[in-house]
Amino acid sequence: MTTFTEGRHATEGLLSEAEFHRSRDNITIAAGAGLILPGQVLGKVTASGKYVPSANASVTGEEGAEVANAIALYGCDATTADQKIAAITRDAEWNGHTLSYDATVNDATKKAAKAAQLAAQGIIARY
């Protein structure tokens, strides 16, 4: 029998949020950010106000995005063009086991730092 592996589902990790969708904002993922998965930890680029996966350290041209401050609710392909999606930006709880990180966030210490940055926005990762 063939085994199928499912990817992440939209809003899969969302445990709770503020009333009337106050936790959500429509955001723009910057062109060149690549494939964004539901549950992707995002940072906001200071110069453009657009979001990219939150790297471990500052990346030239993406300054500010090293601070995690949002989680993608839905996936998108921002390889060649900006994409608009809904994201959690405040006052919510997320299942930490369903978070996706930039490739540079590759150990428990770096993931804990991202969880702390999200907590500063009122987004709590529950494990």
CATH number of the domain that residue 56 is part of: 2.40.300.10
User: How far is 100 from 25, CA to CA, in rounded Å?
Assistant: 19
Query: Which domain range does residue 76 map to?
Result: 22-125
pTM: 0.95
User: Using CB atoms within 10 A of its CB, is residue 10 exposed (0-12), middle (13-18) or buried (19+)?
Assistant: middle
Type and span of the H or E element at 82: none
- Helix then strand then coil, in percent of the chain rounded to 5, is 15, 35, 50
Residue 64 Cα distances to 5, 17, 22, 57, 111, angstroms = 35, 25, 24, 9, 17
pLDDT tens across 79-116, in order? 999 999 999 999 999 999 999 999 999 999 999 999 99
Q: Is residue 62 part of a domain?
A: yes
What is the domain count for the chain? 1
pLDDT tens across 56-81, in order? 999 999 999 999 999 999 999 999 99
Q: Is residue 10 part of a domain?
A: no
DSSP symbol at 104: T
Q: Is residue 30 part of a domain?
A: yes
